[in-house]
Amino acid sequence: MKQSKLFTKTKKEIPADEVSKNAELLIRGGFIHKEMAGVYSYLPLGLRVLKKIENIIREEMNKVGGQEILMSSMQPKENWEKTGRWNDLDVLYKVADSAGREVALGPTHEEIVVPILKNYVNSYKDFPLALYQIQNKFRMELRSKSGILRGREFIMKDMYSFHTSTADFEKFYEQMKEVYKTIFTRVGIGHITYLTFASGGTFAKYSHEFQTITAAGEDTIYVDESSGTALNKEVFNDEVLTQLNLKKEDLVEQRAIEVGNIFDLKSKYSKPFDLSYMDEKGVKHDVLMGCYGIGLGRLMGTVVEALADDKGMIWPHAIAPYSVHLLSLGEDENILKEANKVYESLLKNNIEVLFDDRVGVSPGEKFADADLLGIPLRVVVSKRSLDEKGVEVKKRSEEKGKIVSLNELISLLEPKS
């Protein structure tokens, strides 16, 4: 993509009410546009990041046998009344049509996925099953000051698993812990993300969440580096420490953002809809359920919060909008010609490249924009690089660059297939 054709431009100003680092950088970089508190549109660079996160998550969900579906945002009131959440869930948006008939705008999809499944299963032979979607959610958040970390409208991957025994559920649940670790590692925050024990919700002694360490985190966690686990402050007490075999002196307090969670739902949502199955002997039982969420925007925002420096964003390669940011410096015809040649070579080798081909923009501005946009590798064609018969390559995460030949550059870059 030629930057001269990209409709967004970097900006110096941000909306006055925007206080979070992720929103500030993403808006200044032209990745997102704020529509109102907690509601953002994704612009080309931001959508590219979002889609890469989406594809990583989809691949991992498919690997564990997840079947992808796409459920509706508009949801029947009756379903929500059945579970008691029509009145009890304070974040639920309700919409009426002109005749006054109300529907819910889905903040989560237990009330939809269970009735869907009820159409297709009845025997123990139909289980286990895992369904997931990557879909837009609506939640009436009163405070929406965290940029894309906490939205009123946001894209989420929600998986629901269905089982005939606790043992089978637990096996899948353990598998999902590993899948989540893989996802956060692939996205580039595995080294600062911890499986964290949190308060148990309705049934279990604890629930499990994944927390990424960053100064802007809303949560406080206590990390045990040696085991790679952590405790949410809400369950940080002597009894729990003893149960989990953790020692207070090994734990380090950190601020963190919850980037994923997994829940044991037991029969909480299968019961109200009578989602059941017949066992080998023809005896009816409730189906057991788990659910597993990751907010895609929240994950993207967390990467910004955790990895950015004072100059701008730093994207891990796997979710960067482009792999290479190519800059032509100076308006000399030979420079532009050489830069175009490099651009064409990279495209031919299936390397995703943003080419800052803009004329009338100073080298200082181009460098500042490259730092802000945070594409992992910067490649500069300038008078100096021409003199040295190469291009100047610098990682966004490092201070110093070096001159390499075009062939070396291409062999450096494993194309993303």
Where along the sequence are the contacts to a second copy (CB under 8 A)? Answer: 5-9, 11, 30, 33, 35-36, 39-44, 47, 50, 65, 67-76, 90, 93-95, 97-98, 103, 105, 112, 116-117, 119-121, 126, 129, 131, 136, 138, 140, 142, 152-153
CB closer to a second copy out of 94 and 383: 94
Query: Which contacts (CB < 8 Å, 24+ apart) does range 226-229 have?
Result: 226/250, 228/194, 228/195, 229/194, 229/195, 229/196, 229/197
Q: Are strands 229-232 and 251-266 parallel, antiparallel or unpaired?
A: unpaired
Least Å from the CB of residue 87 to a second copy: 13
Closest CA to 357 of 389, 326, 395: 326
Closest CA to 319 of 46, 114, 76: 46
Closest CA to 375 of 391, 351, 358, 406: 351
CB closer to a second copy out of 48 and 396: 48
Rounded (5°) CA angle 19-22-28: 85
Question: CA–CA separation, 22 vs 312, rounded Å?
Answer: 10
Q: What residue type is 104 in one-letter code?
A: A
Least Å from the CB of residue 397 to a second copy: 28
CB closer to a second copy out of 136 and 185: 136
Least Å from the CB of residue 262 to a second copy: 21
CB closer to a second copy out of 106 and 390: 106
> Cα torsion for 130, 132, 137, 143, to the nearest 10°?
60
Least Å from the CB of residue 82 to a second copy: 14
CB closer to a second copy out of 53 and 404: 53
Least Å from the CB of residue 389 to a second copy: 34
Least Å from the CB of residue 392 to a second copy: 29
Look at residue 178 and give its three-state secondary structure: helix
CB closer to a second copy out of 148 and 342: 148
Least Å from the CB of residue 383 to a second copy: 26
Task: Classify burial at 36, counting beta carbons within 10 Å of its beta carbon; exposed 0-12, middle 13-18, buried 19 or more.
Answer: exposed
CB closer to a second copy out of 154 and 206: 154
Q: What residue type is 290 in one-letter code?
A: G
